[in-house]
């Protein structure tokens, strides 16, 4: 039984971690921290967890927390993990970091995309990018896992089958994202009433998740791949839909593409291929509440246009669910443990 701490447990991703870990047979949550709600019951902030947790939030104290937990999930803002992770690793615990602080291998990328000089390039080299579909073997026994971003996850999962098979040096990812991506503290742009009935592009001149997508796809392709992500805020509460548009010169047919996707994701427990049926393309509506990623595609033969789609729940496969999947692999557990939820319908 692993004793687990959730640092930053009062936010959306923290709440999802608590919800999922409550049903994990190999885990006991012993620490849940919040600066703002310290000494308040978890159910006061997360009423859906009423009757599931009788704990109170505590302030983060590294000495006390490391005496109570073996694994730390960090659901903290970008930049905050830099002050916590090195100290935790010194003690010898496992860190599953949901922020962007250890996703990029090149320290210079943090200057470009996050506007700070990364102080721990040695830890960047040691961290494992927490996407099981790419790094399952490296995750086994890892002590520092950098959980991918939600828009990056959808973009990579959509792009992976085609990048492995064909030469592309540039990709465009059109991503529709739900309001929960903005976190629990609303801003004028992220507040749901301001997003209702809106379809609004943002970060259209360069979304920071592009950096980690380029890193991972270039690694797979063994060449430099440039990725441009254009996210659009839509009025749904949960979900991400990535559409990767490509122009194909080869004489491909739909069976070829279907075969490449099936070969790439054969045996993957959380990848589902969508083809035909009432709704023939992936839709975030049908993954809500689950760790599944639905992958599909369309071809326009006249224009030789191929589009690969990936639909995920941004709070699950895009954050807390993927974090727990990666955690399971680090510990040698069945990677489905704590994640055996079917999507909600209607949702």
- HSE-CB for 286 with a 13 A CA cutoff: 13
Is there a contact between 323 and 96 (Cβ–Cβ < 8 Å)?
Answer: yes
DSSP β-ladder status, 128-129 and 200-201: unpaired
Q: Which of the following is catalytic: 18, 150, 175, 324?
A: 150
Which residues contact residue 300 at a Cβ distance below 8 angstroms, ignoring those fewer than 6 apart?
none
Is there a contact between 181 and 314 (Cβ–Cβ < 8 Å)?
Answer: yes
Tokens 């949550």 -> residue: 29
Sign for the pseudo-dihedral over CA of 193, 194, 199, 201: negative
DSSP state, residue 203: S
Which residues contact residue 222 at a Cβ distance below 8 angstroms, ignoring those fewer than 6 apart?
none
Tokens of 306: 């191929």
Is omega for the bond preceding 346 within 30 degrees of 0, making it cis? Answer: yes
Alpha-carbon distance of 120 to 116, in angstroms, equals 12
Alpha-carbon distance of 23 to 4, in angstroms, equals 13
Q: Which residues in 44-92 belong to E strands, given as ranges?
A: 71-74
Tokens 């360069």 -> residue: 206
Among candidate residues 217, 296, 227, the one with its CA nearest the CA of residue 257: 296
DSSP β-ladder status, 128-129 and 271-273: unpaired
Q: Is 263 a catalytic residue?
A: no
Is omega for the bond preceding 174 within 30 degrees of 0, making it cis? Answer: no
Catalytic residues: 150
């Amino acid at each position: 039984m692993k004793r687990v701490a959730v640092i930053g447990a009062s936010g959306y991703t923290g709440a999802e971690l608590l919800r999922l870990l409550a049903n994990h047979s190999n885990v006991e949550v012993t620490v849940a921290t919040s600066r703002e709600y310290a000494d308040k019951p978890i159910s006061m902030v997360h009423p859906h967890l009423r009757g599931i947790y009788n704990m109170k939030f505590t302030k983060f104290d590294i000495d006390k927390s490391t005496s109570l937990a073996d694994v730390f999930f960090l659901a903290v803002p970008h930049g905050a993990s830099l002050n916590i992770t090195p100290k935790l690793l010194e003690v010898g615990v496992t860190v599953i970091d949901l922020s962007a602080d250890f996703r990029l291998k090149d320290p210079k990328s943090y200057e470009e995309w996050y506007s700070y000089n990364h102080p721990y390039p040695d830890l960047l080299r040691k961290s494992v990018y927490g996407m099981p579909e790419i790094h399952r073997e490296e995750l086994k026994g890892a002590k520092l896992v950098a959980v991918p971003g939600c828009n990056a996850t959808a973009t990579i999962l959509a792009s992976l089958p085609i990048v492995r098979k064909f030469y592309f040096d540039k990709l465009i990812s059109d991503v529709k994202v739900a309001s929960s991506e903005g976190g629990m503290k609303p801003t004028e742009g992220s507040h749901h009433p301001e997003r209702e009935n809106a379809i609004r592009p943002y970060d259209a001149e360069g979304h920071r998740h592009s950096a980690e997508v380029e890193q991972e796809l270039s690694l797979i392709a063994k060449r430099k791949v440039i990725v441009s992500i254009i996210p659009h805020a839509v009025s749904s509460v949960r979900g991400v839909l990535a559409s990767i548009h490509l122009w194909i010169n080869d004489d491909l047919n739909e069976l070829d593409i279907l075969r490449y996707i099936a070969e790439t994701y054969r045996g993957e427990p959380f990848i589902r291929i969508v083809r035909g049926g009432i709704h023939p393309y992936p839709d975030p509506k049908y993954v809500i509440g689950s760790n599944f990623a639905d992958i599909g595609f369309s071809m326009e033969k006249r224009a030789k246009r191929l589009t690969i789609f990936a639909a995920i729940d941004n709070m699950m496969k895009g954050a807390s669910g993927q974090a727990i999947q990666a955690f399971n692999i680090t510990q040698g557990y069945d990677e489905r443990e704590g994640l055996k939820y079917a999507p909600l319908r209607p949702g």
